[in-house]
Structure 1
Amino acid sequence: MSIEAVREYFKKWHMEDRIQELPLSSATVEEAARALQCEEKRIAKTMSFLVNDQAILIVMAGDAKIDNAKYKAQFHTKAVMLKPDQVVGMIGHPAGGVCPFGIKDDIKVYLDESLKRFETVFPACGSRNSAIELTLPELEKYSGYCEWINICKGWE
């Protein structure tokens, strides 16, 4: 799975043409902001974690960092990120292109409160040089999120 899977995923809503394939890398928050000419905090980074041997995704603002105490309170375990060699197999997208679209069926997606201060955000689209601009209601709809959570710091 990759940008092609995300493009196919968005076809059911006729949204595939909104995906931007960028001439520059968007694999990191800094690179994505530069490529999209926006503030780093508006990049919706998707982080992959293991909870009870199950992969989950957390979409958060580009300037947010995981607060370990809040994470443990939410998930009742220590924050353990997927290793780069686990990401494609467990999520379906490569590291640097992880997004909540076109992923494996059993992956829970959480949206962090740090995103709520923006009208639109830019999540990746399955490759290291892609993004889509979405409103928060669109992000909720297309990510298939299970809940909004508050587990980040550094953005307040």
Structure 2
Amino acid sequence: MAAKQVVNLLKKQDFEYEIRDCERDFDSTEDAMELLGVPMERIAKTLVFAAPIGVNVIVLSGDARIDFAKYEKKFRVKKVVLDAEDLLDYTGYVSGAVSPLALANKRAKEWVDICEGWQ
């Protein structure tokens, strides 16, 4: 159902996109890279952490890493990974398949790391 919401959003925005079916879900960024045949720096990974009033949804390049000390300083909160139920409630997606588009909950604040590999 969540994938349908993303496609509907992309259609409304007249955004060019391609849907690629895979025989299974991704286990990791490295797994997605292998299944899709795409370099890691061209993959966008989505990380979700609990925040005082909702969640922080962070989108970054597949080859990027988060400095958790900087994260905690910027957001003034300890990094807390959501359990499967909370992840589904806040995003509408399951672990390994979180899209930064068409999130289910308005209390999900998105942050995108702009990097050269995405141009």
TM-score by length of 2: 0.84
Structure 2: segments with no counterpart, 5+ residues: none
Structure 1 partner of 2:110: 109
Taking the aligned partners of 2:53 and 2:84, their CA distance within structure 1 comes to: 16
Taking the aligned partners of 2:21 and 2:6, their CA distance within structure 1 comes to: 12
Structural RMSD (CA): 2.0
Taking the aligned partners of 2:27 and 2:99, their CA distance within structure 1 comes to: 11
Matching of residue 93 in structure 1 with residue 99 in structure 2:
no
**How many residues in Structure 1 have an aligned counterpart in Structure 2?**
118
The CA deviation string for residues 38-68 of structure 1, in whole angstroms up to 9 with x for no partner, is 2223221100011104112000121222212
Structure 1 partner of 2:48: 48
Taking the aligned partners of 1:33 and 1:99, their CA distance within structure 2 comes to: 16
Q: Aligned AA for 1:101?
A: L
- Percent identity, aligned pairs only, is 30
Q: Aligned AA for 2:107?
A: D
Structure 1 partner of 2:26: 26
Structure 2 partner of 1:9: 9
User: Segments of 4+ in structure 1 off by > 4 A?
Assistant: none
Q: Is the 8 A contact 2:25 2:96 kept in 1?
A: no
- Please identify which structure carries the higher strand content: 1
The CA deviation string for residues 14-51 of structure 1, in whole angstroms up to 9 with x for no partner, is 33752322334334201210122122232211000111
Moved more, 77-86 or 24-33: 24-33
TM-score by length of 1: 0.66
Q: Is the 8 A contact 2:53 2:107 kept in 1?
A: no
Q: Aligned AA for 2:32?
A: A
Structure 1: segments with no counterpart, 5+ residues: 121-134, 136-156
Taking the aligned partners of 1:55 and 1:108, their CA distance within structure 2 comes to: 6
Q: Aligned AA for 1:86?
A: D
Q: Aligned AA for 1:10?
A: L
Taking the aligned partners of 2:71 and 2:41, their CA distance within structure 1 comes to: 20
Q: Is the 8 A contact 1:59 1:110 kept in 2?
A: yes
